[in-house]
Amino acid sequence: MENMFERQCEIAWCPGCGNFGLRKIVLSALKELNLDQRNTVFVSGIGQAAKAPQYMNVHYFNGLHGRALPAATGIKIANPDLTVIVESGDGDMYGEGGNHFLHTIRRNPDITVIVHNNMVYGLTKGQASPTSQKNMVTPIQVEGVFETPLNPLSLAIALDASFVARGSVGEPELTKELIKNAILHKGFALVDVFQACVSFNKINTHKWFKENTYKIDETYNPEDKIKAFELALKEYPFPLGLFYINKNKVVFEENLPLYKKSKEPLYKRKNDNIKDLLILKK
């Protein structure tokens, strides 16, 4: 059956790019959730991954490098009825946008954040990203990366992000289910997705991701924060699945006084009580 979210168009990614796999997964997730296209907004920054919304039939706000999260929050503030999904890369989300990543988690708007994590910069041609593994040699990091890679999952759990998961393009079924659950989850949901960059990352290939990941055991309880943190620190191999969920957090929009009175989005409201506005200053 046809997927109305799928746009027939030329796609500017390299042949064999992991982005294609993730695109397919996201499109299936949207279809299976039967989301209303008119109420689904994608937000992205800049990078190869950030082009993803261009290749779908959705509303989108393809903004500035690193700034998808504040824009997504602004959209939720204006209209909490919209399903807001951020899709961007590791450089965009964890590098340029690092500060917003921390504070948007604290804010906890009801948005889903899908991060294409290929551990390298693609659009700028092969420099290290915040998640590049140590010793990776690049045109800039000529002696190899010596910084400690950023661990987005442990960071998000430390900040009590309400939904924290890792998928991989090599595990499409699992990743699709994670994305669906993330969208259904009420609150900030992070799905970090491993994928290969065929042009610039010759270390972390499709094969490497297959060999260095495993699925979290089905008996694992994601509601235990300490356990989740411990699991997030595990590397080589890296666990895949839902690490942490906190179902008890109030979402940001609902904390705003204007939505306690009425659920109406801003565009439907008329402020007709401004006649008494000036009494404030008599």
Tokens matching residue 158: 């430390």
When asked if residue 278 is in the footprint of other proteins (CB under 8 A), the reply is yes
When asked if residue 15 is in the footprint of other proteins (CB under 8 A), the reply is no
When asked if residue 102 is in the footprint of other proteins (CB under 8 A), the reply is yes
Decide: 35 and 70 in contact? Cβ < 8 Å. no
Identify which of residues 29 and 46 has a Cβ nearer to other proteins in the complex. 46
Identify which of residues 99 and 135 has a Cβ nearer to other proteins in the complex. 99
DSSP letters, the chain, are: ---TTB--S---SPTT-HHHHHHHHHHHHHHHTT--GGGEEEEE-SSSGGGGGGGBSSEEEE--TT-HHHHHHHHHHH-TTSEEEEEEEHIIIIIITHHHHHHHHHH--SEEEEEEE-SS-TTTTS---TTPPTT---SSSTT---SPPP-HHHHHHHTT-SEEEEEETT-HHHHHHHHHHHHHSSS-EEEEEE---TTT-SSS-HHHHHHTEEEPPTT--TT-HHHHHHHHT--SSEEEEEEEE-TTPPPHHHHSHHHHH----GGG-----GGGGGGGG-
- Provide the minimum distance between the beta carbon of 231 and other proteins in the complex, in angstroms, as a whole number: 28
When asked if residue 271 is in the footprint of other proteins (CB under 8 A), the reply is yes
- Provide the minimum distance between the beta carbon of 69 and other proteins in the complex, in angstroms, as a whole number: 8
When asked if residue 238 is in the footprint of other proteins (CB under 8 A), the reply is no
For residues 208-218, b (16+ Cβ closer than 10 Å) or e, as one string?
bbeeebeebee
Q: Which of 31, 59, 186, 206 binds other proteins (CB under 8 A)?
A: 59
Residues of this chain, 136-195, that bind other proteins according to CB under 8 A? none
When asked if residue 280 is in the footprint of other proteins (CB under 8 A), the reply is yes
Residue whose token pair is 């998928």: 167
Decide: 205 and 196 in contact? Cβ < 8 Å. yes
Residues 6+ away with beta carbon under 8 Å from 256:
77
- Provide the minimum distance between the beta carbon of 63 and other proteins in the complex, in angstroms, as a whole number: 6
- Provide the minimum distance between the beta carbon of 202 and other proteins in the complex, in angstroms, as a whole number: 28
When asked if residue 229 is in the footprint of other proteins (CB under 8 A), the reply is no
When asked if residue 111 is in the footprint of other proteins (CB under 8 A), the reply is no
When asked if residue 234 is in the footprint of other proteins (CB under 8 A), the reply is no
When asked if residue 277 is in the footprint of other proteins (CB under 8 A), the reply is yes
Contact region for other proteins (CB under 8 A) — 33-41, 170-178, 179-187, 225-233? 33-41
Q: Which of 1, 2, 8, 38 binds other proteins (CB under 8 A)?
A: 38
When asked if residue 135 is in the footprint of other proteins (CB under 8 A), the reply is no
Contact region for other proteins (CB under 8 A) — 23-31, 102-110, 167-175, 199-207? 102-110
When asked if residue 100 is in the footprint of other proteins (CB under 8 A), the reply is yes
Applying CB under 8 A, the residues found at the interface with other proteins are 9, 12, 37-39, 41, 43, 46, 51, 53-54, 57-64, 67, 69-75, 77-79, 81-82, 99-100, 102-103, 107, 256-258, 261-262, 265-267, 269, 271, 273-275, 277-278, 280-282
